[in-house]
């Protein structure tokens, strides 16, 4: 029986060599290449990774998506990826009855924030059907939220503060981005289309239509 050739690398040796080749600093035990790590960090920082805003990271995400998804799954997180719209973000994985730790802490939406997001989601769907960019103005967002002013039981100045705070929050979360050279106008991020299911959109539309006293319209 022939003796094993000890000069040939074992599987463990191959894995160790691969890990060493990916090392970026002293003591680095990571296995992902530099660009894949940058993608992972951006996803964890959030709120999203956009192929247009993060052009240098998007190709790396596509190339290493399986490894990145694996790292996220280790943290009980899931990768949401839309290659057509070139957007990706991380959300807490649906673990069922498993008692999994929660890494992502989400602040609940206020009444006006929910109303604004629903409106933006509708504008995004309409623009996608037309094959156009979804664009909205600050005045349009404020006008839409004014439909719900009487439900907040506040003075006009207080309502305006809340409405502007809602707009600032969606800006901070990169759900709208200012259009250069067009003051007061914003492009709606395709990410918004992935945040709510069709069932959630329909239910929210029904609730807010009742508050406005108008019949609910089906979202595109």
- Listed residue (138, 195, 193, 208) closest to 167, CA to CA: 138
- In sequence order, what are the beta bridge partners of 148? none
Question: Which residue ranges does the chain devote to CATH 1.10.10?
Answer: 111-212
CA separation for the pair 78, 163 (Å, rounded): 32
Domain 111-212 grouped into CATH 1.10.10: yes
% pLDDT > 90, the chain? 35
Q: How confident is the model at residue 218 (pLDDT cuts 50, 70, 90)?
A: very low
List pLDDT tens digits, range 59-92. Answer: 999 999 999 999 999 999 999 998 988 889 998 8
CA separation for the pair 100, 115 (Å, rounded): 31
pTM of the model: 0.66
- Listed residue (191, 48, 172, 44) closest to 104, CA to CA: 44
Mean pLDDT computed over every residue of the chain:
81
pLDDT given for residue 210 in this prediction: 67
Backbone angles phi, psi at 77, to 5 degrees: -115, 160
> Could you tell me the two tokens for 84?
């057509």
Please tell me whether residue 203 adopts helix, strand or coil conformation.
helix
CA separation for the pair 100, 108 (Å, rounded): 20
Please tell me whether residue 92 adopts helix, strand or coil conformation.
strand
pLDDT given for residue 79 in this prediction: 94
Q: Return the higher-pLDDT residue of 16 and 207.
A: 207
CA separation for the pair 208, 122 (Å, rounded): 13
Residues 6+ apart with CB under 8 A from 124: 134, 188, 190, 192, 193
pLDDT given for residue 158 in this prediction: 85
pLDDT given for residue 81 in this prediction: 92
pLDDT given for residue 152 in this prediction: 64
Residues 6+ apart with CB under 8 A from 128: 134, 193, 220
What average pLDDT score do residues 201-217 get? Answer: 63
């Amino acid at each position: 029986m022939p003796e094993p050739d000890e000069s040939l690398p074992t599987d463990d040796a191959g894995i160790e060599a691969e890990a060493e080749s990916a090392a970026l600093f002293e003591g680095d035990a990571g296995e992902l290449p530099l660009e894949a790590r940058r993608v992972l960090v951006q996803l964890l920082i959030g709120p999203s990774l956009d192929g247009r805003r993060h052009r240098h990271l998007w190709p790396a995400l596509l190339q290493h998506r399986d490894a990145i998804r694996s790292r996220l799954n280790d943290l009980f997180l899931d990768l949401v990826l839309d290659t057509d719209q070139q957007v990706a973000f991380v959300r807490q994985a649906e673990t069922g009855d498993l008692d999994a730790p929660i890494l992502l802490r989400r602040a609940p939406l206020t009444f006006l924030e929910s109303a604004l997001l629903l409106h933006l989601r509708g504008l995004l769907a309409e623009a996608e059907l037309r094959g156009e960019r979804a664009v909205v103005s600050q005045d349009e967002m404020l006008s839409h939220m004014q439909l719900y002013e009487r439900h907040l039981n506040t003075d006009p100045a207080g309502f305006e503060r809340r409405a502007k705070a809602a707009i600032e929050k969606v800006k901070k979360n990169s759900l709208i981005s200012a259009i250069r050279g067009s003051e007061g106008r914003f492009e709606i991020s395709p990410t918004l289309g992935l945040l709510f299911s069709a069932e959630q959109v329909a239910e929210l539309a029904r609730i807010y239509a009742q508050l406005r006293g108008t019949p609910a319209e089906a979202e595109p």
